[in-house]
Amino acid sequence: MGKKSTTSTNKSKEKRQARKLEQRRIADGMSFVTTANKLKDLNSLCKDLLMYSIEDKEIDMSISRVTDLDKEALDWAIDLTERNMKKLYETCAWGWNKERKVEEMTDDAAWYLVARDKNKKLQAFSHFRFDMDYGEPVLYCYEVQIEEAERRRGLGQRLMQVLERLAAETRMHCVRLTALTHNPSAAAFFRACGYSIDDTSPAKEDCAHYEILSKATAVDNAEDCIA
């Protein structure tokens, strides 16, 4: 027994306050994620970015939940992912497991940003989700896939800009993603779009075959957000 000193009382008070703040931060984050996932129309948050002209082509983008995406677009997205990624997955510890990929891509939590030309031909897509990740509300980009013939025309960058706008409007802290380290074009692309190694990425000495990249949400955009 004995009486606690003032210093130790102050220290435990500080710890309690820090714990409360952390719980509050996580609860706020979870509520932003819930609100974002309940939104009926994400298109209205980034209308100005959804039309894109590349030389001779006009691209129109739209955002929907996987549950509202038409079957043709979903089947094409799965096929494009296989065409673009199978070899890269096969040459790392993950391996290519189509069933697992389809399960991930058709999970009810998935949102899709899909780009079509004016003849409705499918050109590019991103699968993303609003989620808590390491205690933070984030927009997680699961895929960004462009048809081979449409690359290096700024379409990938425009898709990322849409995701970044959505993250800001819904109070996500950042856009976060996982990239394979042996995919140099993706590495160059994400760096060109302003993404850098996230704190949650494996340490260099772990020699992992993937890295976690992120781009913080622009504060200016986040101020007038809807959430």
**Binder to ligand COA among 131, 133, 136, 143 (CB under 6 A)?**
143
Site for ligand COA contains 189 (CB under 6 A): yes
Is the dihedral angle over the CA atoms 212, 218, 219, 224 positive or is it negative?
negative
Least separation in angstroms between residue 18's CB and ligand COA is 37
Q: CA neighbours within 13 Å on the CB side: how many for 50?
A: 14
Sheet containing 136-146: which strands, arranged edge to edge? Answer: 51-54, 57-65, 111-117, 122-133, 136-146, 174-180, 210-216, 196-197
Site for ligand COA contains 157 (CB under 6 A): yes
Cβ nearer to ligand COA, comparing 32 with 125:
125
With the CA atoms of 189, 195, 201 and 206 taken in that order, what torsion angle do they form, in degrees rounded to the nearest 10?
50
Site for ligand COA contains 161 (CB under 6 A): no
Which residue in the shown chain puts its C-beta closest to ligand COA? Answer: 156
Cβ nearer to ligand COA, comparing 20 with 182:
182
Find where tokens 């849409």 sit: 162
Cβ nearer to ligand COA, comparing 24 with 100:
100
Backbone angles phi, psi at 91, to 5 degrees: -95, 25
Query: Which amino acid is it at 161?
Result: Q
Q: Which long-range contacts (CB under 8 A, 24 or more apart) does 220-226 make?
A: 221/165, 221/168, 221/169, 222/168, 222/169, 222/171, 225/168, 225/169, 225/170, 225/171, 226/39, 226/45, 226/169, 226/170
- The candidate with the shortest Cα–Cα distance to 189, out of 99, 95, 84, is 84
**What is the C-alpha R_g of the chain?**
20
Site for ligand COA contains 83 (CB under 6 A): no
Cβ nearer to ligand COA, comparing 13 with 151:
151
Cβ nearer to ligand COA, comparing 35 with 200:
200
Cβ nearer to ligand COA, comparing 85 with 166:
85
Cβ nearer to ligand COA, comparing 29 with 156:
156
**Binder to ligand COA among 21, 51, 192, 197 (CB under 6 A)?**
192
Site for ligand COA contains 40 (CB under 6 A): no
**Binder to ligand COA among 42, 66, 138, 146 (CB under 6 A)?**
146
**Binder to ligand COA among 50, 59, 155, 213 (CB under 6 A)?**
155
By the criterion CB under 6 A, which residues form the site for ligand COA? 84, 143-146, 151-157, 179, 183, 185-186, 188-189, 192
